Structure 1
Amino acid sequence: MAAQLSYVNVFARDVVALSGFYQRVFGFPEIEAIRSPIFRGLDTGKSHLGFNALDAYALLQLSEFSDTRGIKFLLNIDVDSQPEVDRMVPVAVEAGATLVKPPYVTYYHWYQAVLLDPEGNVFRINFMMS
């Protein structure tokens, strides 16, 4: 079997609130069978999105890296059309996101918007025009 992405995990100050943000905005259902006090998982359809409490730094022996600053990853969430990107941006902002760059056409022919979630993580809402 070829390798494939199963999860992207985000370290979060509040796993319940941050996973709830992505549930409300994109409708991703929680995978309740793997819920714990320091973890929530969401099913995105193609892969999964996990949220780890900051306690997970120690659990994973990553404590020395827990004070890392700056943007370290970017979530890309694809939708079915340009109008869907336009529709989703105000939904995300109303749910607590900050709009960084309004929807635009990229040089690689995607229509996308760039936002920050309530904890300051970058995500894009994309439509691949072809």
Structure 2
Amino acid sequence: MPELSYVNVFARDIVALSGFYADLFGFKEIEAIRSPIFRGLDTGRSALGFNALDAYELLKLEAFSSPSGVKFLLNFDVASPGEVDGLTPVAVARGAQLVKAPYKTYYNWYQAVLLDPEQNVFRINHMLE
């Protein structure tokens, strides 16, 4: 079966944006593939999700739903609800914008929805039992 190797995000400032995620989640740079136009981070594993348009309202992203708006979101799973609560203000302090504060979803996850410093959507998640 094929495996997803990378999710690439186009960024105005690859150093700053890759640094934001490296600092927030402790990801290490893959220095062997560094170039003037690319930075890679080792995240440990990857997944690709597809959301119906109804997810804009669910995640309170209606303002970004225009054809040129949000097209994907990055999901970062953590070990506990406490980590979601702890990382959310750290992300904001490092330049993220809080869209939806940590909450329990109808599908039994605990998550926060944020925009990174370049306005890309990401969630910090923990799947509850």
TM-score surpassing 0.5? yes
Q: Aligned letter for 1:73?
A: F
- What TM-score results when the alignment is normalised by the length of structure 2? 0.82
C-alpha distance in 2 between matches for 1:88 and 1:129? 17
Structure 1: where are the runs of 5+ without partners? 49-67
C-alpha distance in 1 between matches for 2:46 and 2:123? 16
Q: Aligned letter for 1:123?
A: F
- What TM-score results when the alignment is normalised by the length of structure 1? 0.82
C-alpha distance in 1 between matches for 2:10 and 2:2? 23
Q: How does 1:1-130 map to 2 (within 5 A)?
A: 2-47=1-46, 69-130=68-129
**Secondary structure class of the residue paired with 1:9:** coil
Which structure has more strand as a fraction of its residues? 1
C-alpha distance in 1 between matches for 2:125 and 2:33? 28
Per-residue CA distance 1:9-45 (angstroms, 9 max, x = gap): 0000000000000011111000000000000000001
**Secondary structure class of the residue paired with 2:90:** helix
C-alpha deviation, 1:87, in angstroms: 0.4
Identity of aligned residues (%): 73
4+ residue runs of structure 1 moved beyond 4 angstroms?
Answer: none
Structure 2: where are the runs of 5+ without partners? 48-66
C-alpha deviation, 1:46, in angstroms: 1.0
**Alignment RMSD, CA only?**
1.3
C-alpha distance in 1 between matches for 2:46 and 2:100? 26
Q: Name the count of aligned residue pairs.
A: 110
C-alpha deviation, 1:69, in angstroms: 2.1
Per-residue CA distance 1:28-74 (angstroms, 9 max, x = gap): 000000000000000001149xxxxxxxxxxxxxxxxxxx7211110
**Secondary structure class of the residue paired with 1:23:** helix
Per-residue CA distance 1:69-123 (angstroms, 9 max, x = gap): 2111100000000001000001100110000000000010000000000000000
